[in-house]
Amino acid sequence: MNSVESVCVAGLVAIVQIGAVLVGGPLLLGVMRKVRSRLEGRRGAPIHQPLLDLRKLITKQRLRPFEASWVFGFGPVILVATVAAVAAISPLATTRPPLGQSSDFFAIIFVLLLGSVFLALGALDTGTPFGGMGSSRAMTVGALAEPALLVAILAMSIPAHTSNLPALVRIGLAHPVVIASPARLLALGSFLVVILAESGRLPVDNPSTHLELTMIHEAMVLEYAGPDLGLTMLGESMRLVLLLGLLVNLLVPWGVADRPGALAFVIGLVALVGKVLLAGVAIAVFEVFSAKLRLFRLPELLAGGFILAVLGAVTAVVSR
Amino acid sequence: MTIRSVLQAITHPRSATEDLAPSPPATPDFAEPLHGSLQLRHVDAGSCNGCELEVASAFGPVYDVERFGTRLVASPRHADALLVTGPVTKNMVGPLEKTFLAMPEPRIVIALGDCARDCGIFRGGYGVEGAVGDILPVDVQIPGCPPHPAAIIEALRGLTGQ
């Protein structure tokens, strides 16, 4: 294979992975809402409703508070851009994504965090009380969740001798016993808690609340309108799909393409869709049966996640 | 609750939701840019809360207007339509106008209930400024005191076209 051809293939893989996350994000949101409404005894909106919402939002007026600076408009763009960049280099459908050698787990997490930080800055930028309140809460949750995530990644990296994400997935595929090791399982448990916290799902935050005083994430986007709001919605749902995709590929990597070839890639894509769908439905079912935690009890949950990660790291070091 | 019963509840829901006419009423021109998605911001301009009960019921499990692409949202910035109930009292004129101006265009105003349409039994009250139509350009009217949830749903389906 000559170099031009391999560059084309790499570009195609990246575009397909970004496209899958782009379309999959809103659709997963629709599926999760559908499952929730079914379990609540309602019929629920059609699964493609978030896509209809997006189509409407991009044609609406771009209304911004006149006190807001460029940071406000930058937030949603950065959010979508960072998620798309990470989607291109992550092992989603294949363990050999283009630029896979640059997809270090630590780096990916910090790039994704950049989107959250800019959303929080954008909310502060408006000068409204609810925006500031949402930012402060989101950053509190983030400050508690991030250490847990970092230690969890450490616990997964020690046995594998690398924090390269595609390599972590490949090792799981080649030696399934690594996945069943306490270090990996404890770390993935911690990762799940962090995903719920970072994407604003129950029991950390209620994504369908109308009460400003109980909001964490929603309070930050109260001032966004039209295309800005659409980008924020899109970015948030894309990030959930991306994080779930990484989680399922680290937990059950089977199906992901491990060798070059179009057929293997397509199978990997189908397997990814199936696994993420299952994970999303599981989260939606869990959400129906759980209530939002009081804000002051959140540190307990997140500290629990941190303890899982620390235990994972300790077992990884001891059993080395 | 076992896993099987949860899965059954998703695939074969014993839903409380009532069936409605399969096709929605004709969509007016100003609702075309909605593309089947309608976000509502509800403002109580001085209602007796009778209309609020019916709105809550329309979004509840029995009528479930959310299945037609409608949602209530927490901010006027997210809204396509302003859902106003009650006669506009003197104290609510300012907040109502501010809410309307905070919405991105194109914006729709829905006057829900007889009080919002023509002040109803509160007409001439010393605290009443006027009907919603005296303050804002009203696009959709839903008559009734209070309107039946089915009437609310029919009006909203006309906007979403679902």
Mean pLDDT of chain A: 89
Instruction: Say what the pLDDT of residue A199 is.
Output: 86
Q: Is the pLDDT of residue A204 over 90?
A: no
Residue ranges of chain B whose pLDDT lies below 70: 1, 13-15
Distance from CA of A161 to the nearest CA of B (A): 39
Instruction: Say what the pLDDT of residue B1 is.
Output: 63
Tens digits of per-residue pLDDT, B101-130? 999 988 999 999 999 999 989 998 999 999
Tens digits of per-residue pLDDT, A249-280? 999 998 888 888 888 889 999 999 999 999 99
| B17 in a structural domain | no
**For chain A, what are the domain ranges?**
3-318
Which residues, at least 6 apart from B30, have a Cβ–Cβ distance to it below 8 Å? B106, B108, B139
| B109 in a structural domain | yes
Place A15 in a pLDDT band, splitting at 50, 70 and 90: very high
Count of domains in chain B? 1
CB-based contact A268:A60 (threshold 8 Å): no
A:B CB pairs within 8 Å: 102
Tens digits of per-residue pLDDT, B12-22? 766 677 777 77
Place A290 in a pLDDT band, splitting at 50, 70 and 90: confident
| B152 in a structural domain | yes
* Structural domain range at position B86: 38-160
For residues B72 and B39, give the distance between their C-alpha atoms in angstroms, rounded to a whole number.
6
Distance from CA of B22 to the nearest CA of A (A): 14
Q: Which two tokens stand for residue A306?
A: 């941190």
The enclosing domain of B106 has a CATH number of 3.40.50.12280
Q: Look up residue A92 and give its DSSP letter.
A: S
Strands B128-130 and B88-89: antiparallel
Between A3-39 and A262-288, two packed helices, what is the crossing angle to 10 degrees?
A: 20
CB-based contact A284:A127 (threshold 8 Å): no
For residues A151 and A191, give the distance between their C-alpha atoms in angstroms, rounded to a whole number.
10
pTM score, whole prediction? 0.91
Interface of B with A (CB under 8 A): 1, 6, 9-10, 13-17, 33-37, 39, 61, 64, 66-69, 71-75, 77-78, 80, 102-106, 162
| B79 in a structural domain | yes
Q: Is the pLDDT of residue A138 over 60?
A: yes
